[in-house]
Amino acid sequence: MSGSRDIVIAGGGMVGASLALQLGAVLPSATRICLVEGFPLPAPLAQGMPDYHPSFDARSTALSYSSRLIYEQLQIWDALEQWLCPIESIHVSSRGRFGSSLLRAADYGWDALGYVVENAWLGGALLQALYRQGRVEVCSPARVLAAHPHGGGMRLQLEGALEEEIDTGLLLVADGATSGLRRQLGVAVEEKSYDQHALVANVGFARPHRGCAYERFTDQGPLALLPLLPVATAEHRSALVWSLSPGDAEHLCACPREEFLEALQQRFGYRQGRLHQVGERHSYPLSLVESAEQVRQGVVVMGNAAHALHPVAGQGYNLALRDVAQLGAVLAEGLAEGRAPGDVALLQRYLRRQQPDQARTIRLSDYLPALFMHTDPLLGVARDLALSGLDVLPPLKREFVRHAAGLAAMDDSRGAHSGG
């Protein structure tokens, strides 16, 4: 590596790779961009996509309709399509109560409300698209160990790269919720523990899911099931995200398969028939983690390093993609104006435009679980009426779906852009 880059992205996961693709697509060809990732990344292929053989236990990500639009603009949606399971409807309910609502893509002229894709395929498709684009230097395996202000930008100490030190006009920190680089930079985080763990696993049902996702709110926390494509060992496969007390999550991760299936069946019910299969079970503590500082001169904190959300409604990754699209648009404007990419006033412009979307999405993911876990009977009736009201008030339901799909945020962003 030579001694300087205009922009360095620290972290080559799905957010980092999407960010690299976005910047490569919208910034001038003279802009030198480098992606640094600590794990060895797959090599470029001469043509096509990597071989991928889905497994029952593959981890997945839900993409909203707004994420589809972003990936279409980056011209990689076609490469993803064969591995996408469309979410054609979402059934939202409160366990043991009358309130429920069914959201259907067909009611809005869409083919899907969202899509579920296995992480291995999404990550591979992003990287191969990045290689084909040919705009971004990929340095892997290598890590940014430390960063310090230098000449209006940042001086980086690297490990595993050809050079141990380089300068950059803008450092984009995208190395995850426990970001070591964020900590080294002295950026504080605000963390709110939910005193719950998320148990994640893939499960198999007797009946087909027919593209339906379930978001069931219970007194213990939300339980979500997302439709997955079939594999050889399971025709009717879904991804489970189950919020539980830490003790219950530990027990259900370790208990015999039959006991787990019985407990989940009792909690979810029989809408997809009998549960007959569960794969590897994992759990992790749930908390809301927000970076107290997202921008400073020469630095932007992105993705889970900026905001790690409760998984309810699957909004975290989709919010990160909208951040990516907005940052790319603002940097393109700034470079056209003759500004340096790390100009703090330019980076604050990005934050002003994106903060309303961030605040709204974070509030939704934060408030929903607590709202439905509250045991007050009058509040329970109000919740039921609100859920049922979505089905009898089409304008309200349409607006709710637009927000859940991320389209309202994108419209707000366009309005902010036109207003400066």
* pLDDT range class, residue 237, cuts 50, 70, 90: very high
Preceding peptide of 141 cis, ω within 30° = yes
Tell me the C-alpha distance between 362 and 409, whole Å. 13
* Strand (E) or helix (H) holding 199: strand 189-205
Inform me whether the pLDDT recorded for 373 exceeds 60.
no
**Cα gap 4→89, rounded to integer Å:** 49
26-56 residue pLDDT tens: 999 999 999 999 999 988 887 766 666 778 8
Interval 312-338: pLDDT, tens: 778 899 999 999 999 999 999 999 999
pLDDT per residue as tens digits for the range 240-265: 999 999 999 999 999 999 999 999 99
- Whole-number Å distance between alpha carbons of 14 and 317: 9
- Give the C-alpha distances (Å, rounded to integers) separating 100 from 49, 118, 321, 378: 41, 29, 29, 17
Q: What domains lie within the chain, and their CATH numbers?
A: 4-190+288-418 (3.50.50.60)
- Asked whether the beta carbons of 36 and 115 are under 8 A apart, the reply is no
Whole-prediction pTM: 0.88
* C-alpha distance from residue 302 to each of 30, 117, 182, 415 (Å): 23, 22, 10, 22
Decide if 33 contacts 20 (C-beta within 8 A).
yes
Query: Is it the case that residue 405 has pLDDT exceeding 90?
Result: no
pLDDT higher than threshold 70 for residue 151: yes
